[in-house]
Chain A
């Protein structure tokens, strides 16, 4: 059993608001918190200074913002009650007087005992977790741990596998076709090698497919960037004029 936080100085005085928020799961309940206080303060569990531990408990509740947790409140109320019972006058040596703390001590010991069993289970379970049996199906159907530890490549590969087995929805058929910019550049260069001036229609066939048109466009832009040619359009929607650039020709 681990105690998640170090003893906090000044808790007993209850000064200042919580400077950090500890998750509720830091303690598995009020008995856990109480035991951790008893351990931190090195208190004899059979003789708990109730007033002291009650103050500590309330301060810890405040610090951990557990003020709304019913189970912690109930324990706090119980501590206050025991504290009150302890203050009642009693005659020394009278038979039948029961220590008001007895019930709490019994519960704490019971809880402590259970924590020891938890330690044993934790050790055994961890050892077993690290061994696989053959085709242990429950483990295989367990949901993957979030967040997914996947690289983009793995994700795309998974998508690919899914798409491969999925039936063709038959809605539409997108055929990806790589653009052939290099081929288009060769065509443009060939055209301009024959004449210094050309038109769009000279480099793109009339029945060209979209990918050919796009390739030609990219090729023209690329060659213009490389100063091998100059593009001009006298007016909107007019045929694009392509002129051989002298500098580019020299290069």
Chain B
């Protein structure tokens, strides 16, 4: 490994958070972006080829050294680290809506989900996955929510753009004014 790759490795090791490429570049002012990138590639290769227990992952808005999944159970059994709790289905639904529609208020989320989301918003706020990003117009100037960098990190996303685009989903929204192609009507319908 070249010395730049070693410097980056040390910085990544020292940081508990993912480090964006720009911040890594600030470590060595003489290094070009291309040099940083090739050093990162070299480091990743180093972990992959030599068979390390950790790997270099780009996610959560930056680069991070993470343990490989196959060792998770042993580490957790020995109580050296604890996995965060899995989110409930209701929490994931709420999070999905916020991720795509941010900034969005509580009433709109409840409208999409068909249930009240007050308690779930509170717990997502406490977990640091969402935050109040703005206040809406209109009555009472409702709080509007958005996702946090921790959300990106916990879902291994580099940025929000990595989520599938809405038109990539199997079901795309069809507007009522664009009627569905005629289909046979089941007999006996009201």
Contact = CB atoms under 8 A, between A and B. Distances in A.
Interface of A: 25, 28-32, 43-44, 46-47, 49-52, 71, 75, 83, 86-87, 98-99, 102-103, 105-107, 109-118, 120-122, 124-140, 142, 144-145
Interface stretch (B25-33, B62-70, B130-138): B62-70
Contact of B174 (A44, A109, A128, A132): A109
Contacts of A138: 84, 128
Contact of B72 (A44, A52, A130): A130
Contacts of A31: 113-114
B141 interface: no
* 7 tightest A-B CB contacts, nearest first: A51-B190, A29-B115, A46-B180, A131-B66, A117-B96, A130-B69, A31-B114
B89 A28 contact: yes
A125 B115 CA distance: 24
Contact of A118 (B93, B153, B154): B93
Given A47-B185, A117-B163, A139-B83, A25 B72 contact: no
A127 B92 contact: no
B51 interface: no
A32 B65 CA distance: 38
B161 interface: no
29 contacts: A28-B113, A28-B115, A29-B113, A29-B114, A30-B114, A44-B186, A46-B183, A47-B189, A49-B186, A51-B190, A107-B114, A109-B174, A111-B112, A114-B96, A114-B112, A117-B96, A117-B163, A121-B99, A129-B84, A130-B69, A130-B72, A131-B57, A131-B66, A131-B68, A132-B72, A132-B75, A133-B64, A138-B128, A142-B85
A12 to B, nearest CB: 12
Nearest to B68: A131
A117 B112 contact: no
Nearest to B81: A132
A83 B189 CA distance: 10
Given A25-B88, A131-B67, A131-B68, A103 B190 contact: no
A214 to B, nearest CB: 41
A103 B115 CA distance: 17
A101 to B, nearest CB: 10
A114 to B, nearest CB: 5
A153 to B, nearest CB: 14
